[in-house]
Structure 1
């Protein structure tokens, strides 16, 4: 796990702002925007931290997404600005601290699930919110836990033989 630092904060705030701005800037539903964003080339640039070496602004990110996917008017349900900011922030925090790609994080938890958790979790520290989400989904919280889990599986298999 990576320690949350200044770079992580910059990335989280940027992604939160982009998600929040998407309500007014895009004509797709919030879920479609999130899916496109999380699987985009620009998300990979956020994952690697390369975007920190550029002067790109949140508003410029929309142009990159349209370049990659084209215009879309699919879907109509828009989340609130607060929900979108929090979802963007949480996705980036998860990706940054757990060193997972945006696409991996998106596969673990979908926007609908995060939206349902917004009221209960939005005032929590992001690390606590992510730990609770992972715990509820049965995912290991850290590498040590994962190794223990894998060892137990191996041990049970060996006993069975």
Structure 2
């Protein structure tokens, strides 16, 4: 039951645009990468981007997004000409890689940022920029699990007052399967939709409440 944030038709352009956005903000506007990203988070741009609004993940440039975010913040700054660099900086890579991670899981940028700052992601450039992105995803998963140690399934099950065995008996999903989900040894986002449905019916929640997004 893999659920991505939006169609992969837009993924390549989304990665490029987010990369150009951070590159332009840091290297033209000389802004601190975390301070700018916090402006991005409180603007409407982040919500439009993470839900895959085509205007934002394909129709605008990274430079246009920076200027929109600055306008939304109410800060008066000099209006620099649009510039997208041919040499891709660590800031570009940080945005490019982050866009992929956000698309892959459909997690919000704000929840990702709580787990790992943009400065931390930028520092990963030296180690990960020539590797397959799967290694970057795995590293962010490690940081995510440290920040959010309890899975949604375990949290909701505990709130319901059910043991793992009781949930298994009522749902028909094996207790071993439930244990693997709660220990993060099996990705609940990748399991069969019917298992999610069975669990959510017993727990009285929506299917998506059990996913790790």
Query: Same fold judged by TM-score > 0.5?
Result: yes
Tell me the equivalent position of 1:158: none
* Number of aligned residues: 143
Shift, 1:20, TM fit: 1.1
> Structure 1 residues 41 and 146, CA, compared in 2 at 3 Å: closer, same or farther?
farther
Gaps of 5+ in 1: 74-79, 151-161
The range that moved more, 94-103 or 116-125, is: 116-125
Gaps of 5+ in 2: 78-86, 153-176, 185-213
Decide which of 40, 45, 52 is 1:42's aligned counterpart.
Answer: 45
Tell me the equivalent position of 1:21: 24
Q: Which structure 2 residues correspond to residues 81-96 of structure 1 after superposition, within 5 A?
A: 82-96=89-103
Decide which of 100, 103, 107 is 1:100's aligned counterpart.
Answer: 107
* d(CA) in 2 for partners of 1:82, 1:146: 40
* d(CA) in 2 for partners of 1:81, 1:146: 40
Contact 2:93 / 2:129 at 8 angstroms: preserved in 1?
yes
Tell me the equivalent position of 2:73: 69
Tell me the equivalent position of 1:131: 138
> Structure 1 residues 35 and 126, CA, compared in 2 at 3 Å: closer, same or farther?
farther
* d(CA) in 2 for partners of 1:72, 1:123: 38
* d(CA) in 2 for partners of 1:10, 1:108: 25
Normalised to the residue count of structure 1, the TM-score between the two structures is: 0.72
* d(CA) in 2 for partners of 1:17, 1:31: 15
Contact 1:87 / 1:115 at 8 angstroms: preserved in 2?
yes
Tell me the equivalent position of 2:157: none
Normalised to the residue count of structure 2, the TM-score between the two structures is: 0.56
Decide which of 62, 86, 101 is 1:58's aligned counterpart.
Answer: 62
* d(CA) in 1 for partners of 2:41, 2:97: 12
Deviations 1:41-87 (A, max 9, x none): 111111111134773222221221112112278xxxxxx96110111
Secondary structure of 1:86's match? helix
Deviations 1:69-110 (A, max 9, x none): 12278xxxxxx9611011111221111101111111111211
Q: Greater relative contact order (Cα 8 A, min sep 6): structure 1 or 2? A: 1
Tell me the equivalent position of 1:154: none
> Structure 1 residues 146 and 108, CA, compared in 2 at 3 Å: closer, same or farther?
farther
> Structure 1 residues 39 and 108, CA, compared in 2 at 3 Å: closer, same or farther?
farther
Contact 2:21 / 2:62 at 8 angstroms: preserved in 1?
yes
